[in-house]
Structure 1
Amino acid sequence: MVYRILADITMTVHFLFLAYVVLGGFIAWRWPRTWFVHAAVAVYGTFNGILRFVCPLTPLEHGLRLRAGQAGLEPAGFVDTYLNDVVYPTELWPEVQLCAAAVVAASWIGLAVRLRRKRTADVAP
């Protein structure tokens, strides 16, 4: 039972991490100093999406699921288990990546606009 709970926590953290990769720039609208963290996470997510290397959370969850007596993750990992052909068709993976990149870019552009407006308002007499 403990391994199943730990596997579910790992899966949840993985989903939250993916959400932060895509949406973390919007969090920086509220807390601008967090953009450095989001930039690092977005770069990691970009390289992972392109090169498809294994995220450390994937083997962790896989091992926990096996110890819990459950089926492990698909051989290709987390995305193939939970997202491909579940949330979107596998053949749309490039389009999904482009949409995620567009959301990140939009959040950063919005952040730049907000910071510029704030600086302008702070300098105004």
Structure 2
Amino acid sequence: MAKLRVSRVGEQIKKEIVDIVRTEVKDPRVGFVTITEVEASGDLQHATVYVSVLGDEEQRKGTMEALHKASGFIRAELGRRVRLRRTPELHFKLDTSLDYSTRIGKVLRDIKEGDKQDEPQA
């Protein structure tokens, strides 16, 4: 039962962080950001926020620095929006799973195109 509550609270935190980053964070380094997942600890003291950033490595680095710098503001705003005894401490991590899946898709397309070129013409 406790795991269900933690996952529901994690989803609510995710919704609120998406809204806060989209509307309240004014740092120009925050580019096109997608919050992919929020994992909250069992006691809801810590939350790991997985972030996917569209752009090159420099843009990703700048966005992550801006999110780390704004984490206090985001946490305070989250505390106002979500009623919990204690607002979880936020830890932002870059989510590279989308890059990985894109790379796998490209490799599979290349293999498929290579197989078509190897087929004899009738």
TM more than 0.5: no
Scaled by the length of structure 2, the TM-score of the pair is 0.40
Larger RCO, structures 1/2 (Cα 8 Å, 6+ apart): 1
If each structure's strand is expressed as a fraction of its own residues, which one has the higher value? 2
If each structure's helix is expressed as a fraction of its own residues, which one has the higher value? 1
Scaled by the length of structure 1, the TM-score of the pair is 0.39
